[in-house]
Amino acid sequence: MKLSFLEIEDFYSHSRGRMVRRLMRVLLKDWWSDMSGLHVLGVGYTHPFMGFFKGDEPLSISMLMNKRYHPKGWPDNDHNALAVCDDMHLPVETQRMDRILVAHSLETSETPDELLKELWRILDGNGRMIIMVPNRSGMWSRAENTPFGQGHPYSLTQLRQALTDAGFTVERYIRTLYVPSGRSRILISLAPLIEKIGRKFFPAFGGLLMVEVSKQLFSPIAAKSERSGLNPKSILPSAVKTNSRTQ
> Span 20-36, mean pLDDT?
95
Query: How much is the pLDDT for 234?
Result: 39
CA atoms within 13 A on the CB side of 146: 25
- Single-letter code of the amino acid located at 1: M
Q: Where are the domains of the chain?
A: 5-235
pLDDT tens for residues 82-100?
999 999 999 999 999 999 9
The sheet that has 60-66: what strands, in order across it? 82-85, 60-66, 39-44, 97-103, 123-134, 208-215, 168-176
| Angle ∠(164,166,171) on CA atoms, nearest 5 | 45
d(CA 111, CA 128): 22
d(CA 118, CA 103): 15
Query: How much is the pLDDT for 219?
Result: 56
Q: How far apart are the first and last CA of the chain?
A: 73
Fold of 5-235: Rossmann fold (3.40.50)
Query: How much is the pLDDT for 244?
Result: 38
Asked if 140 contacts 111 with a C-beta cutoff of 8 angstroms, the reply is: no
Query: What is the per-residue DSSP string for 30-82?
Result: HHS---TT-EEEEEES-HHHHGGGGGG--SEEEEEEETTS-PPPSSTTSS--E
pLDDT tens for residues 181-226?
988 999 999 999 999 999 999 999 999 999 999 999 875 654 454 4
Distance of CA 173 to the CA centre of its chain: 12
pLDDT tens for residues 3-21?
888 899 999 999 999 999 9
pLDDT tens for residues 145-166?
999 999 999 999 999 999 999 9
Nearest by Cα to 187 from 25, 16, 48, 14:
16
